[in-house]
Amino acid sequence: MIKNFSDHAANERTYLAYLRTGLALMGFGFVIERFDLFVRERSPGESVDGLVWLVSSEAAGFLLLFIGVFLLALSTRRYLRFRRQISSEEVLEVGSLRGTWILLGVVGATGVFLCLYLARLVLE
């Protein structure tokens, strides 16, 4: 029997959930980038001025792709660190949640960014 099997299995399930989320963000970024091409084909020659229109589909798509890749790297680091800690014999304290708060802030800012992007599409 594997020592601490349930802890290792929970760590792997969490890692797989992070991977699934990262891949979904990357796919959504690609779809957003291509969706603007579809919108431009449907309404050629129309342009709207204003601060909200600074948000482009390329920027929104790239941002989501970047966050997806960042999430994959962060989750791999987290998985390996927890795997090592689970296998360790010593008692460890729970670390800081700073990385989690930073990731939450980045994803929240991306949500605001995407709301501006969708507002641009609706108002065009």
Q: What is the DSSP string of 66-90?
A: HHHHHHHHHHHHHHHHHHHHHH-SS
Q: Which amino acid is at 99?
A: G
Predicted local confidence at residue 87, as pLDDT: 86
Predicted local confidence at residue 52, as pLDDT: 43
Q: What is the pTM of this model?
A: 0.71
Predicted local confidence at residue 51, as pLDDT: 44
What is the number of alpha carbons within 13 Å of residue 61 lying toward its C-beta? 12
**Residue 53 binned pLDDT confidence (cut-offs 50, 70, 90):** very low
Query: What is the average pLDDT across 79-95?
Result: 84
> Is 46's pLDDT higher than 60?
no
Helix, strand, or coil (residue 124) = coil
Q: Are 39 and 124 in contact (CB under 8 A)?
A: yes
Helix, strand, or coil (residue 2) = coil
Predicted local confidence at residue 44, as pLDDT: 57
**Residue 58 binned pLDDT confidence (cut-offs 50, 70, 90):** confident
